[in-house]
Amino acid sequence: MSQSLFADAMTRLDKALQHVSISPEAIERLRYPKASLSVSIPVRLDSGELKVFQGYRVRYDDTRGPTKGGIRYHPNVSLDEVQSLAFWMTFKCAAIGIPFGGAKGGIAVNPKALSRMELERLSRGYIDAIADFIGPDTDIPAPDVYTNATIMGWMMDQYSIISRRFSPAVVTGKPTAIGGSLGRETATAMGAYFVIRSLMTKHQKLPQVTTVAIQGFGNAGAVLAQLLYEAGYKVVAVSDSKGAIYNPQGLDIPSVRAYQQAHKGIEAVYCEESVCNLGDRQLLTNSELLTLDVDVLVPAALENQITLANAHEVKAKFIFEVANGPVNSAADLILQQNGVCVVPDILVNSGGVTVSYFEWLQNRSGLYWSLEDINQRLQEKMEAETSQIIDLAEELSLSLRTAAYVHALKRLAAAIEAKGTQQYFAQS
């Protein structure tokens, strides 16, 4: 890669700044993370050996509220990546209009190589290392790539042990038995589904004639595949880290999911089988999936999947970014020239953090909502902000990405300016 992920993320900020008039001080503030923490986490493995893992937590901006964002477990986690993800969380929370700033965390680890008990020791060790940095009023972690409700439960418990009080609001995405919210596990996919449906309705595309390819069959990708399938869309291809399956007539998503569920490892919390082992479908690589001739492409895996190297080969008419950062800024330009409509991550995948906000509210009030209430409020939020971003894009002739950033920037700048800037004090 020629430039860092963070440098690439900054180009989106620069682009949006051309279309909004805000205080130069607000701009300067948004270029730097508020605080970045690197920690070493010593873990005793089942073999008796001690292994030290590298972990990070970045709080990017807390002007609009406590910082919020997930924790990922992946071998490629780095400070550059975590800073970029924390920057995106800042804009995501502002774009969807929830009162949080942005943060992110991660551990450089291949979690599939650890036993369940090693994973628990690692997760508790990470909280031991960052406990002073997080809290229900300061910074609230959540799940991300290769972390889940079980891991969030361990983290919340560890924080409660350290602080000597039951602290459910310190982490969201927990099991419901210890303060998790109904609907949190399906929230990212459901939020994305509402955005896809809004856009498809606007472009008068009926589900029955709309083909979809989804890269990534983790929580977000698999649940979204199910929701689209149930709504009548033709989901023709899905993939996981090992490869893709393709059937031009449409895949039977419930059977793909049943296969995945049946192959969860006994000791681990991850699925150990690949969708590729399902017979009678054509096998493709992940990069072949990205260039399929479909109406809708959904990258739901990792960042930097569509770049200068393959953007010109994309045949989809719409890309919905369910992953964070799957399309880089150089690819944006090519896709725009080729008439591909890219609907950005900070809108499409914001359903997850929106229901995290609902979970945090429930933990703080002690009053728990029904699944119906949660999904209803999620739908209202997703549809309202999507329609404002579409209107802004049309009004200013902007891409949906730049419109989403401008929409977020207005809220961020108003908050930064409300706390006082040089211009504000010069007037007194």
Query: Which residues would be at the binding site for ligand GLU (CB under 6 A)?
Result: 68-70, 92, 142, 144, 172, 324, 349, 352-353, 356
- In angstroms, the Cα distances linking 325 to 39, 102, 268, 290 are 25, 15, 28, 15
In the bound complex, what is the minimum distance in angstroms from residue 353's beta carbon to ligand GLU? Answer: 4
| Residue with smaller CB distance to ligand GLU, 83 or 291 | 83
CB-based burial, 79-109: b 16+ in 10 Å, e otherwise: bebbbbbbbbbbbbbbbbbbebbbbbbbbbb
Nearest alpha carbon to residue 351 among 320, 322, 391, 387: 322
- In angstroms, the Cα distances linking 308 to 3, 235, 241, 331 are 12, 26, 21, 5
Question: Of all residues in this chain, which one has the CB nearest to ligand GLU in the complex?
Answer: 70
Q: Is 315 a known active-site residue?
A: no
Three-class HEC string of 44-102: ECCCCCEEEEEEEEEEEECCCCCEEEEEEEECCCCHHHHHHHHHHHHHHHHHHCCCCEE
Nearest alpha carbon to residue 71 among 6, 154, 167: 154
In the bound complex, what is the minimum distance in angstroms from residue 183's beta carbon to ligand GLU? Answer: 12
In the bound complex, what is the minimum distance in angstroms from residue 223's beta carbon to ligand GLU? Answer: 14
| Residue with smaller CB distance to ligand GLU, 17 or 156 | 156
- In angstroms, the Cα distances linking 290 to 99, 127, 253, 354 are 35, 37, 19, 28
| Residue with smaller CB distance to ligand GLU, 55 or 69 | 69
Marked catalytic residue, from 34, 92, 104, 381:
104
- Long-range CB contacts for residues 363-366, cutoff 8 Å, separation at least 24: 363/136, 363/168, 363/169, 363/179, 364/136, 364/169
What Rg do the C-alpha atoms of the chain give, in angstroms?
Answer: 21
How far is residue 171's CA from residue 177's CA, in Å, rounded to a whole number? Answer: 14
In the bound complex, what is the minimum distance in angstroms from residue 349's beta carbon to ligand GLU? Answer: 5
In terms of residues, how long is the chain? 428
Q: Coil, strand, or helix at residue 338?
A: coil
Amino acid at 283: L
In the bound complex, what is the minimum distance in angstroms from residue 70's beta carbon to ligand GLU? Answer: 3
In the bound complex, what is the minimum distance in angstroms from residue 356's beta carbon to ligand GLU? Answer: 3
Kindly list the catalytic residues.
104
